[in-house]
Structure 1
Amino acid sequence: MTRNLIPGILAMAAIVVASNILVQFLFGQWLTWGAFTYPFAFLVTDLTNRFQGAAAARKVVVAGFVVGVICSLIGTQIMGEFGPLVTLRIALGSGLAFLTAQLMDVQVFNRLRKGSWWRAPLVSTLIGSSLDTILFFTVAFSGALAFIEPANDVSWATEVLPLLGAGPMVPLWVSLATADWLVKLSLAIVALVPFRVIVGRLTERIA
């Protein structure tokens, strides 16, 4: 079983490392390049769940969490223009969001696995992605949680601006979270294509 998990663990680790690197580079005004790689972690979790079950998927998630923690620890030692690349709040938000959202994905997928082929991966990813976005951006940037790391100035994230530049007035971090969430929802649909292809090919090999 452990050997069979190696492909999933390696894929998850690669996505987590890539996302931690790419999150440092902006894509437009509201996103980073990491927003386009991280959602595929849900694809890895769902494929593992589909072929090896929920217990195996949880092991892959834990492996990804450990890799994420290591990346965060490294990030705290790298100084950027305004301080460490990874602050306590970002590290806490990232870890909490990843672990909670991925485990939720596993649970939802497992409950829906007997339905139509697309139902379990789509619904579980949509729920997991939404939870991930809410937890990360709230913990990392919400002014209400400033007590977590008082020395970390996130006033830039609480500046009130139009939502995505055109909507109602909200803190900047809400626009960042909304843009991130919309990308995750879009990629949840896109990921159905590789999910279907990979499942089909591996099923043929097993048969």
Structure 2
Amino acid sequence: MTETPNPNIPDTDTLTGEMHPIRRAVISLGSNLGERENNLQGAVDSLRDTPEVWVTDVSAVFESEPVDAPEGAGDYLNAVVLLDTTLAVHTLLERALAIEDAYGRERGERNAPRTLDVDLVVVGERRADDDQLVLPHPRAHQRAFVLAPWYELEPDASIPGVGPVGELLEGIGMAGVTRRDDLGLDIGS
């Protein structure tokens, strides 16, 4: 089910024709298998190469302990990508899943180690709650590995219906999450 805050405002994902509004999207990336930094860079490059997607910024790389993962799971490298897009949210989700698949993401056990995780955190003010997608991301506000890199890029950012990113991060702290200044991702040109 899709939620529209005001019934007098059209749902931009159902507009027909050639003009669609540009929306800011926040994408969280994570990898704890294989060449982790290369996997993250590949995701940034793949997003940048997507029609109707304009990558505007990428965060520093953070390393985090796995959350609710099977025993023995390795640490994650994480980053946040800011982009503008005219794509419908489900089209953007399909692209995110295709990027994960291209990097060998295997689905199965919840929170299992993965080569690449590409999560839609926020897409404009869009809200969604269906079998495929929940927006804003339902656990982003509980994850320092999402909030910390996002906060560095947009200190005034807020998760719609949840609260300011800075306050959320302050509330949960940075335990288990470390900024990796020796690593970096490039948004290209």
TM-score over 0.5 for the alignment? no
Greater Rg over alpha carbons, structure: 1
Which structure carries more helix by proportion?
1
Which structure carries more strand by proportion?
2
* Alignment TM-score, normalising by the size of structure 1: 0.28
